[in-house]
Amino acid sequence: MIDPLISRLENLGQPQVLVVGDLILDRYIWGYAERISQEAPVALLRADQREHRLGGASSVATMLAALGAKVRLMGVVGRDENAALVREILREQGIDDSHVATVDDRPTTVKERYIGRAQDRHPQQMIRVDYEVRDPIGGEIEKRFEAGIARAVSDADIILISDYDKGVCTPGLLRALIAEARRQGKRVLADPIRGGDYAKYAGVHCMTPNRLEAGLATGMNIRSHEDAISAAESLQSRLGMEASIVTLDRDGMALIDPAGGKSIHPTRQRQVYDITGAGDMVLSVIGLVLAAGGSYEEAVALGNVAGGLEVEKIGVALLSRQEILTDLVEHHGSGGTKVLSRASAAEECHRRRRAGQKVVFTNGCFDLLHVGHVRLLAEAADQGDFLVVGLNSDASVRRLKGETRPVNAEAARAEVLAAIGSVGCVTIFEEDTPRELIEALRPDVLVKGGDYAPHEVVGREEVESWGGKLVLVNIVAGHSTTRMIERAGRGSLRPDAGHAATQVPPRPNFASVEEPSRSTAVRRDS
């Protein structure tokens, strides 16, 4: 299913999304937690940096904007300095805040987190302080929102409800919103509160509660995939939804699709640093995919990838489509095989470049694999992110080496190469030279052994013409397939006398270059 997923991701376009819910300002105070306070048995944080990010519905909005959607936000802020900061960040991200109301009866909701660094360990959250009022918004504000709902819905491809139980998502407002969306034929997705009464979400097309939330809403203890499916079915029936999703953290998601299909969508195991924002990211990606015309299966699969990437970051962090694409091509491969046709290899190279990766190419007969081959492949792989090996077909080898070659058939040679970890994929070519294959793959780096002069390398001019480069690597002296065959013919597997003392040179140490970090909707003060 990976190829359709990549295609869907690459063709999302710029859907228009209306996000309704609770706006939150996330403040992060970073510092060094080096000792215990003398005043009390608590860690002392020596603060050196402050960051501001958006949470709640405003987090969903910024995530969608970073993923290329056009976003309009509906919610409230207080009449304070924090509200000005929220609006400024929204506008910097190109988010329409014309439906964000300023109210006098509550402050802007702020969650202040203190993050401590200690020695070389990963930073850890030490404490969170919340500033908020959770009472429902007043009738005047609710009526003001209701008056603008028809226009806001008409401009949207999908509506997302991000309910953090801070007072915006009242039953009256949601009832008016869902009814208008239904009237206009627009989908509504909800990320619900934690509680036992979901009546106010009746009529939404789908919701994305997590394991605990779904359990509280249905009275079930969700321990297995079967439990998750049962909970999803119960919510779908009770709320009149077309589909139902229950997110299961490390176990992926349970889905009841519009046709009644029941499925569990597993996710790749991750190093979890912070679950903050994972639910927002899942809602954002599922909503974006559905708004672009994707299926629930595609939306859930891509939501799994994005949610997994989110928990690998500290706090609420933004993702780009390129990061999701990179994860897809890096960790899911190409249909389970590394031996690809020319067309499939070219498509894979294109995807890798779109994901910001550098494609490396080398070629050869690789008849009897030896240490020289392994070193060449390892050093070639060091030149970029994805190594493609062009392998001469059996007919091509015979024309180059004679009728007694190759010793091993092309399928066997390809399988052996594909088993090497540094090799990204293998593709077989019939021609005497790899020129046409190189033109099809358009690699960024062309690698050959140092026994070639630059002008002798086929494909060098082509690679350099599109901005790539040729890299010549040292060969391991005394090792060749021809010599191995000659020794085998003499009945000896010992090295020739002239090469008995040959030392395999150490591999050169290639320095890595760290890419500059991508800017996000973060305000940072050091």
Q: What is the 3 state secondary structure string of 404-427? A: CCCCCCHHHHHHHHHCCCCCCEEE
CATH architecture of the domain formed by 2-23+58-105+141-332: 3-Layer(aba) Sandwich (3.40)
Q: Is it the case that residue 510 has pLDDT exceeding 50?
A: no
Check if the beta carbon of residue 165 is closer than 8 Å to that of residue 193: yes
CB count in 10 Å sphere of residue 442? 18
Contacts of 48 (CB under 8 A, 6+ apart): 30, 31, 32, 526
| Mean per-residue pLDDT, 44-49 | 92
| Mean per-residue pLDDT, 336-343 | 83
Check if the beta carbon of residue 65 is closer than 8 Å to that of residue 91: no
Which residue would you say has higher pLDDT here, 381 or 270? 381
Which residue would you say has higher pLDDT here, 450 or 24? 24
pLDDT at 119: 73
Most confident of 112-126, 344-358, 394-408, 464-478: 394-408
The band of 511, judged by pLDDT with boundaries at 50, 70 and 90, is very low
Q: How many CA atoms lie within 13 A of 439 on its CB side?
A: 7
280 is catalytic: yes
Q: CA 418, CA 338: separation in Å to the nearest integer?
A: 6
Longest dimension (CA), the chain: 97
The band of 505, judged by pLDDT with boundaries at 50, 70 and 90, is very low
DSSP 3-state of 379: helix
pLDDT at 7: 81
Q: Is it the case that residue 504 has pLDDT exceeding 60?
A: no
pLDDT at 484: 57
Q: Is it the case that residue 492 has pLDDT exceeding 60?
A: no
pLDDT at 1: 41
Residue 413: exposure state from Cβ atoms within 10 A (0-12, 13-18, ≥19): buried
pLDDT at 496: 44
| Mean per-residue pLDDT, 302-326 | 82
Lowest mean pLDDT among 32-46, 340-354, 356-370, 503-517: 503-517
pTM of the model: 0.69
407: alpha, beta or left? (left if phi > 0; alpha if psi -120 to 50): alpha
Q: CA 160, CA 154: separation in Å to the nearest integer?
A: 14
| Mean per-residue pLDDT, 482-509 | 47
The residues with which 198 forms a beta bridge, in sequence order, are none
Q: Is it the case that residue 502 has pLDDT exceeding 50?
A: no
pLDDT at 172: 96
Q: CA 316, CA 474: separation in Å to the nearest integer?
A: 46
Domain(s) labelled CATH 3.40.50.620 in the chain stretch across: 342-499
Alpha-helical regions (H) of 292-360: 296-311, 321-331, 342-354
26-40 b/e (C-beta count within 10 Å ≥ 16 → b): bbbbbbebeeeeeee
pLDDT at 336: 54
Lowest mean pLDDT among 99-108, 123-132, 271-280, 316-325: 271-280
Contacts of 497 (CB under 8 A, 6+ apart): none
The band of 489, judged by pLDDT with boundaries at 50, 70 and 90, is low
Do strands 187-191 and 206-207 pair parallel, antiparallel, or not at all (unpaired)? parallel
User: What are 189-198's pLDDT values in tens digits?
Assistant: 999 999 889 9
| Mean per-residue pLDDT, 253-260 | 95
| Mean per-residue pLDDT, 219-241 | 96
CB count in 10 Å sphere of residue 337? 13
45-77 b/e (C-beta count within 10 Å ≥ 16 → b): beeeeebbbbbbbbbbbbbbbbbebbbbbbbbb
Lowest mean pLDDT among 147-156, 222-231, 432-441, 496-505: 496-505
The band of 371, judged by pLDDT with boundaries at 50, 70 and 90, is confident
Helix, strand, coil shares, percent, the chain, to 5: 40, 25, 40
Most confident of 6-10, 11-15, 521-525: 11-15
Q: Which two tokens stand for residue 145?
A: 């929102």
Domain(s) labelled CATH 3.40.1190.20 in the chain stretch across: 2-23+58-105+141-332
| Mean per-residue pLDDT, 213-217 | 96
Given 280, 367, 382, 444, the catalytic residue:
280
Q: CA 14, CA 69: separation in Å to the nearest integer?
A: 5
| Mean per-residue pLDDT, 460-469 | 96
DSSP 3-state of 8: helix
DSSP letter for 223, please.
-
The band of 478, judged by pLDDT with boundaries at 50, 70 and 90, is low
The band of 497, judged by pLDDT with boundaries at 50, 70 and 90, is very low
- Nearest Cα to Cα of residue 118 among 28, 27, 35: 35
| Mean per-residue pLDDT, 294-300 | 95
Q: CA 83, CA 156: separation in Å to the nearest integer?
A: 25
Torsion of CA 196, 201, 202, 203, to 10 degrees: -150
| Mean per-residue pLDDT, 388-404 | 93
pLDDT at 368: 84
Query: At the fourth CATH level, which superfamily is domain 342-499?
Result: HUPs (3.40.50.620)
Computed over every residue of the chain, the mean pLDDT equals: 87
Most confident of 35-39, 316-320, 488-492: 35-39
pLDDT at 255: 97
| Mean per-residue pLDDT, 28-35 | 90
The band of 508, judged by pLDDT with boundaries at 50, 70 and 90, is very low
**Residue type at 196?**
G
Check if the beta carbon of residue 282 is closer than 8 Å to that of residue 306: yes
CB count in 10 Å sphere of residue 83? 19
